[in-house]
């Protein structure tokens, strides 16, 4: 293999890495570049989340997207799943890159440090050591690009979540405010009967006016002075209600 072609190809792939902000686009663009330039037939980028007790795996992207009918892919997927479920991720990571052949298809399972795994399927001549070394160097950049996109995705998700919360709070606040009618300014009130003149010039009972211009309502009672004035027979000398007679 011409070393110059290898360098060209690795450079071209490197230029495709990390050019997108979100994880899905980053992974798709990178995987397409790998497959095109390295002459592969299919590939997958898998996220392995080690934050929980058991490693959680998730296919970030598979190109082509439906490989379920591909025997080599099914076999290699089973190898990965079994390795992780039986022994955890550590022994699998230690054994990478995992290289083999299934149904005349060469497969390569490689580490994307702190992110997950890269799977490449290739028909025809296998990669030699020099190419595998070059790919492993690229994979470090790919892993960093995926991690950066993952953090960006999380950050954007958090921003979206907080923005949504804020919008909801704002909506509630606006809703509440719309229900509060504040009386303000100078109200013309009759010095004698206490009626209030409205904007159309009509004189309104104070209860009617306040009811119409605010959320307040009235319940009627008598103050001690009025009670004494209107119902003196029910009030003692101190202005308190007399107790009811038993008869």
Where do contacts with other proteins occur on this chain (CB under 8 A)? Answer: 1, 4-6, 8-9, 11-12, 15, 32, 35-42, 63-67, 69-70, 123-125, 127, 131
Q: Minimal distance in Å, beta carbon 58 to other proteins?
A: 19
Query: Quick one: tokens of 225?
Result: 């002075």
Query: Quick one: tokens of 232?
Result: 């003196």
Count CB atoms within 10 A of the CB of residue 75.
Answer: 14
Q: Minimal distance in Å, beta carbon 27 to other proteins?
A: 13
In angstroms, the CA 27 to CA 92 distance is 22
Our CB check for other proteins shows the closer of 20 and 49 to be 20
Query: Quick one: tokens of 20?
Result: 């997108």
Exposure string over 105-124, b if 16+ CB within 10 A, otherwise e: bbbbbbbbeebbbbbbbbee
Our CB check for other proteins shows the closer of 70 and 149 to be 70
Q: Minimal distance in Å, beta carbon 39 to other proteins?
A: 4
In angstroms, the CA 125 to CA 123 distance is 7
Our CB check for other proteins shows the closer of 107 and 127 to be 127
In angstroms, the CA 225 to CA 240 distance is 10
Our CB check for other proteins shows the closer of 44 and 48 to be 44
Our CB check for other proteins shows the closer of 11 and 218 to be 11
Q: Minimal distance in Å, beta carbon 122 to other proteins?
A: 8
Q: Minimal distance in Å, beta carbon 141 to other proteins?
A: 15
Task: Answer whether 212's CB lies under 8 Å from 200's CB.
Answer: no
């Amino acid at each position: 293999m011409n070393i110059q072609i290898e360098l060209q190809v690795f450079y071209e792939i490197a230029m495709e890495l990390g050019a997108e902000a979100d994880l899905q686009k980053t992974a798709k663009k990178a995987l397409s570049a790998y497959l095109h330039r390295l002459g592969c037939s299919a590939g997958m980028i898998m996220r392995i989340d080690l934050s929980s007790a058991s490693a959680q795996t998730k296919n970030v992207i598979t190109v082509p997207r439906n490989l379920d009918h591909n025997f080599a892919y099914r076999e290699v997927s089973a190898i990965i799943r079994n390795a992780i479920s039986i022994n955890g991720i550590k022994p699998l990571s230690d054994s990478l890159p995992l290289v083999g052949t299934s149904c005349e298809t060469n497969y390569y399972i490689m580490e994307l440090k702190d992110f997950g795994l890269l799977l490449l399927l290739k028909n025809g001549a296998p990669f030699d050591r020099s190419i595998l070394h070059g790919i492993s160097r690229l994979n470090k950049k790919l892993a960093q690009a995926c991690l950066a996109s993952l953090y960006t995705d999380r950050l954007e998700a958090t921003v979206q979540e907080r923005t949504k919360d804020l919008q909801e709070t704002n909506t509630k606040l606006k809703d509440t405010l719309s229900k509060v009618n504040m009386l303000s300014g100078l109200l013309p009130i009759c010095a004698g009967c206490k009626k209030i003149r409205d904007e159309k010039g009509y004189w309104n009972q104070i209860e009617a006016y306040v009811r119409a211009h605010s959320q307040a309502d009235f319940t009627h009672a008598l103050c001690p002075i009025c009670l004494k004035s209107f119902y003196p027979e029910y009030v003692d000398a101190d202005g308190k209600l007399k107790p009811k007679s038993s008869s």
